Amino acid sequence: MNVFRSFLVCLALSSVSLAHANIEVQFVESAPKDRFTILNSGECELTNVEISIDLTDTQGKLIFDTTENGAGVEVFQPFEVTEGDMALSSAGSVADGDKVISVRVLSLPSQQSMSFTIDVDDTLKNSALGQIRVAGEEIKDGEVRLTLANNEVRRALFGSNKLASVTPGSC
C-alpha cells in the first residue's frame, strides 16, 4: 500500500506545472525605420530587467545608424520608443555605428509587448538589398541578453526568422 501511495504522490507532483517566463525579440526590417518588438509570451510579469541587443556577430555585420554623418549609410533614425515603458540603460542615446543597445524595462506583464524603432544597416561590401536595408539572414547570430533583477543573465541568438527567444526560467 505504501508503494501505491508513493506512486500517487509522485504522479500528482509531476502533473503540477510551473509558470514559465519567455521573452521573444522580433526584428522587422522597414523603411525608413526598423523595429524591434519585445513580447513577454510567458505566464509571469517581468520586472526590473535589462534587455540588450548585440549585433557584433551578425551575418550582415550590422550596426545602428543614428546620425547623418557616421558609419551608417544614407537614411538614419535615432532610437525611439513606440510602445511600452522602457528607456535606454546607459548614456541615454545610441551612437552612430554602435553594435549594442540596452534598454531598462521596469515592468512587462504577461502577453504584453513593447517596441522601439531605430535604423539598422549592414556593412557588407555586397549586400542583397544594399547597405541601407537588412536582407534575409543578415541579423542571424545577433544576441539578445536578458539581465534579470538578480543579475542573472540569459541569452538567445536571432535565427534566420529574425526572432530570438529567451527563457528566463520559472516565475
Give the residue among 87, 83, 88, 86 at the shortest CA–CA distance from 98.
88
pLDDT digits (tens, 9 = 90+) for 63-115: 888 877 765 566 778 889 999 988 888 667 788 889 999 999 999 999 999 99
Whether the pLDDT of residue 49 is over 70: the answer is: yes
Domain layout of the chain by residue ranges: 19-170
C-alpha cell at 25: 525579440
DSSP state of 21: E
pLDDT interval class at 15 (50, 70, 90): very low
Report percent pLDDT > 90 for the chain: 46
| Range scoring the smallest mean pLDDT among 3-7, 109-113, 150-154 | 3-7
Put simply, whether the predicted model's pTM sits higher than 0.75 gets the answer: yes
Find cell 549609410 and name the residue: 73
pLDDT interval class at 158 (50, 70, 90): very high
Would you state the pLDDT for residue 5?
55
* Torsion angles phi and psi, residue 4, rounded to 5: -65, -45
Strand ranges for 70-170 from DSSP E: 80-83, 86-88, 100-108, 113-118, 120-121, 143-147, 153-157, 163-170
pLDDT digits (tens, 9 = 90+) for 26-39: 999 887 889 999 99
Cβ neighbours around 133 below 10 Å, total: 19
Cβ neighbours around 25 below 10 Å, total: 21
- 19-170 belongs to CATH 2.60.40: yes
C-alpha cell at 157: 541568438
Q: How many residues does the chain have?
A: 171
Measured distance CA(73)–CA(65) in Å, rounded: 7
